[in-house]
Amino acid sequence: MRRVLIVAVLALLVVPAACAKDGVLFARPAAHAGDRLVLKSSWAAHPDGVAVYFMPLAVSPRWWHGSYNGWETPNNGPPPKRVRGVLRLGTLHSSTGHAVRLVTKVPRVKPGRYVLGFWCAACNEHWTSALPDFQPNPLGVLRVVR
């Protein structure tokens, strides 16, 4: 038991800080185009300035390379201007402390599965709420229905 505890503590020490990414998840698993979308988190390392994008799940690996396994850090680089099907929703802002919020609408897109893409201008890093080969949280993917 002691050995397991030591391994767990060491794992927490070597996990990159970026794994506790600034980001939000969907509040529900499905929505219609045009529905109100409230994206929020009670804590973010960068409470102002993280841009949020809406993208098809299938294109998310074109922007965030690799397989999210809880150990990888976000990719460095610019926002997803050249990734097809990506729409900017807005920027996360905080009114108090480190809690962030963005209220927007589900874009008028084809039915399917979509994720959130994030770009931190201050850190020049980007990531998504899920990738096709791994979904760390069921609310990382939104199914847009007719």
The predicted structure's pLDDT at residue 19: 35
pLDDT by residue (tens digit) across 112-123? Answer: 999 999 999 888
Structure tokens at 12: 């927490």
- pLDDT for position 5: 42
Of residues 6 and 112, more confidently modeled: 112
Give the DSSP letter of residue 108: S
- Please say if the pLDDT value at position 57 is more than 60: yes
Least confident of 22-31, 51-60, 64-73, 99-108: 64-73
Structural domains in the chain plus CATH codes: 2-145 (2.60.40)
Q: What is the pLDDT at residue 13?
A: 33
The answer to whether the CB of 130 falls within 8 A of the CB of 57 is yes
